[in-house]
Amino acid sequence: MAMNKTGLSWWSDRAWLWFGWCVTAVITVLILLNWRTWSAELKLVAAIAALIPVHATEEWVFPGGFNFQYNTFLYRSARPDRYPMCRASDMITVLGVTIMYAVVAFAYAVGGGAVHAGVLMSAMAFSALEVVFHTYCGVRAYLMYRSKGKTTIYGPGSITAYLGFGVLGVLMFYSLRDMSIGASDWGLCALILAAIVCFCFIPEQAFKNKVDSYYFETNGYYDRFLK
């Protein structure tokens, strides 16, 4: 079935990933150029923003198949190529969180103030959730497809979840040990995490449709187990 190539359908296919990689490249260059002047906390927040598009590339393209993983293991969807998460909704989620942390890092870089503990706490919690989610999906996938030759708990996004978010999360934990954490930091952390939840679920509710045009054309990594 031919995909409806509307502007949003084109953008939510692969074009937005190129934009994400541009964001990653710019942030990476800025981190390197300001390595001696930016605080460790600022570099960690910026690194989270830079990592998210790389993580999404593993989920969507190399090897791809995150849609099947997400829609099947969380929702037991009969249409994992499009329901409830589709290309458009996940694109908004990924870019929304990326840009949010990029803007926060930019604000601290320009303003020159110390990164609030609440910001680092939110990024650490987000990193931990990424690791937990991909572990959960990996275990589910292994149990479901071990009879078809699956031998690991790998799933699309696992490598960048463990080696990216996992490592950054540990570094944030150690940075937070030397920071003073007050009630305002807990509030700021909750506010940022609430924004992340909104980026996840509002687009999903807005775009979920079992017959929409923003479907994924393949199940990526999982196609080998669905034959």
d(CA 84, CA 23): 27
Which residue intervals of the chain are DSSP H helices? 7-10, 16-33, 40-60, 66-75, 87-111, 117-145, 158-160, 167-176, 183-207
Q: By CB neighbour count within 10 A (0-12 exposed, 13-18 middle, 19+ buried), where does 75 fall?
A: middle
User: Closest Cα partner for 30 from 43, 21, 14, 12?
Assistant: 43
Structural domain spans, the chain = 7-225
Q: What is the full per-residue pLDDT of the chain (227 aa) written as tens digits?
A: 444 567 888 899 889 999 999 999 999 999 999 999 999 999 999 999 999 999 999 999 999 999 999 999 999 998 999 999 999 999 999 999 999 999 999 999 999 889 999 999 999 999 999 999 999 999 999 999 999 999 999 999 999 999 999 999 999 999 999 899 999 999 999 999 999 999 999 999 999 887 767 999 999 999 999 87
Predicted pLDDT at 1: 42
Amino acid found at 43: K
